[in-house]
Structure 1
Amino acid sequence: MSDSELLQIEPLELQFPFELKKQISCSMQLTNKSENHVAFKVKTTNPKKYCVRPNTGVVMPNSSCDVIVTMQAQKEAPPDMQCRDKFLLQSAVVNSSIASKDITPEMFNKDSRNQVEEYKLRVAYVPPPQPPSPVREGSEEGSSPKASVSENGTVNQASDLNKMSKGLPEANGITSEVNALISKMREEKQSAIQQNNSLRQELELVRRQGQSSTAGVPTIFVITAGLIGIALGYFLNGILISFKDNINT
């Protein structure tokens, strides 16, 4: 900040985040802490490269004015990223009736009766701001859910919790259906085991009696039915174990 009597300038160095083929702007603030009306005019050593808005104006007593300096897009970077361009800010005390359109170059002549001051501002190129690192979505296994951040910087943890709570009824419904299916398969397995036991008892009875048939049924049919029942039991048992493994996974 300058220590002048007429205008305080912030900053005294114009810094441009340099990027090729991109128009870049920076600003400076002129503050008038006096009781006088102060006119100003901004000049540069390279007028084709920069655009200043406003380049002239009047700062009222105890007020401020922002000046925007825009650098045109550059096709190539300067050597060593050094800039030799400079700006000159002229200020002068004027009558309260003077408006911006009434400002003339003669008002800033040091030979005039006006109180005139001049300030030189340097230009510097600085690295462009780095883009923010991407936010990883979701949460790692075993860790608590993390709050997501929206574009305007607000935390959306409450929204995420609402989505999770809405999904709970559906998950509970699926769990109930799975439990019912498991119970049904257990009942079918138990029934198959009972049938196997019954067939085994009949088969053992046939063997003891040494008869060729039992109650009009051929022995080979009884043996075949027993084998089918045993195979059916093992098959249902395998399905139940596989289904449990899929549920746990």
Structure 2
Amino acid sequence: MNTKLVDIQPRELKFIFELKKQSSCCVQLFNNSNHHVAFKVKTTSPKKYCVRPNTGTIDPKSTCEFTVTMQAQRLVPPDMVCKDKFLVQTTVVPAGTTNEDITSSTFAKDDGKYIDESKLRVILVSPPDSPVVSPISGTLKQVPAYEPSILKDQLLSKVEGLTQRHTQVPAHESSILNDQVPSKDESLTQWHTVTKEVEESKLENGELKPENDVEYVTMKGTEELKLVKDIEDMKSEINELESKLSEAKVTISKLTEERRLTFQERESLQKELALLRSKRNMRKVQVGFPLLFVCMVALISVMLGYLLHR
């Protein structure tokens, strides 16, 4: 199979790079064949990018797309050069294959199965009104929001300089310069036209999306606020649990001490009870007479009585 199974657009993933901000890029896959095709997306930096969906199926002569999101970065790469790459694998699958049926074995190169692979490279693009990287030194350069007015003033100054030069040239060349040097109004009109064309081209290429950026910033701000609130709630719950744990430890220590004191009191009471029992037995021995002594006295008394009556 010499032809490509799918046509991938774009072949380069362009991300608008801003520090601590995410950036997304959409890729379209067109199935050129008359078969059902399964695709899988891999990357050299899986922790840096999020691909949704990273696997799927495409019907014959149909189009499918996936979105690649670059996570927020804290450092600017040197010279804004990114060496990350993506690999798109495609292969023919039977009709009715679902996303759950697609596994790693689907793209295994065995039994003569044809696996089409396409590599995509990553390009970082600086946003128009945010810190950009200088191509010479690689340092951040803040582009102010009022830069268009500066450009306009520079253009006007150039026009004025050309006008002054025009007043100093000979008369036979003035007619030529009149045709070549525009006036201030014409320069402003040309500048606005060029600016409008640049903005339209950026909008067409997907490099400038003000509404989406505002929605994204708003959504991200809401998510950050929610995340901060969840963290604060979690911290308060942890503090509450710690306080309860400390109270439980104090209660356990008190109960342990009370148990020890109770055990000591029980031992002392048992000793006192044993002492009282021993004293009681001694009193019984001292007060009473033995049974044998009583019997002997009774027997002697009977014998004496018998002898006296005789």
Residue type at the aligned position of 2:9: E
> What's the counterpart of residue 63 of structure 1?
62
Distance in 1 of aligned mates of 2:42 and 2:102: 14
CA contact (8 A) 1:6 1:117 kept: yes
SS in 2 for 1:107: helix
Structure with greater helix share of residues: 2
- Counterpart Cα distance in 2 of 1:11 and 1:129: 21
2:87 counterpart letter in structure 1: L
Matched, 1:40 2:28: no
Q: Give me the TM-score of the superposition, normalised by structure 1.
A: 0.50
Alignment deviations for residues 69-122 of structure 1 (CA, whole Å, 9 cap, x no partner):
000000110111110111111000000021111001111122244321111110
> In the TM superposition, what is the alpha-carbon distance from 1:133 to its structure 2 partner?
7.5
User: Counterpart of 2:20?
Assistant: 21
Cα pair 1:94 1:114 within 8 Å, conserved: no
Q: Secondary structure at the match of 1:15?
A: strand
Contact 1:39 1:103 in 2 (8 A): yes
Task: Give the Cα–Cα distance (whole angstroms) in 1 for the partners of residues 118 and 3 of structure 2.
Answer: 9
Distance 1:22 1:39, change over 3 A: same
Name the structure 2 match of 1:115: 114
* 3-state SS, counterpart of residue 83 of structure 1: coil
Quote the Cα distance in structure 1 between the aligned partners of 2:66 and 2:25: 9
Where 2:106 maps in the other structure, the secondary structure is helix
Structure 2 residue identity aligned to 1:114: K
- SS of residue in 1 equivalent to 2:87: strand
Aligned partners of 1:88 and 1:62: how far apart in 2? 22
Describe the SS at the equivalent of 1:101.
helix
Q: Deviations over 1:122-172 (max 9, x none)?
A: 0010121449979xxxxxxxxxxxxxxxx99xxxxxxxxxxxxxxxxxxxx
Aligned partners of 1:123, 1:33: CA distance in 2, in Å? Answer: 25
- Count of paired positions: 136
* 2:298 alignment counterpart: none
Amino acid paired to 1:46: S
SS at match of 1:97: coil
RMSD value over aligned CA atoms? Answer: 2.5
Secondary structure of the 2:95 match is: coil
Structure 1 stretches of 4+ with a deviation exceeding 2 A read: 112-115, 129-134
SS in 2 for 1:111: coil
Higher Cα radius of gyration: 2
Distance 2:46 2:19 in 1: 19
Q: Which residue of 2 aligns with 1:93?
A: 92
Matched, 1:84 2:89: no
* 1:125 aligns to 2:130 (yes or no): no
1:48 alignment partner AA: K
| Structure with greater strand percent | 1
Q: Secondary structure at the match of 2:100?
A: helix
Listed as ranges, the gaps of 5+ residues in structure 2 are 131-144, 148-209, 212-310
1:68 aligned partner, one-letter code: T
Distance 1:122 1:112 in 2: 30
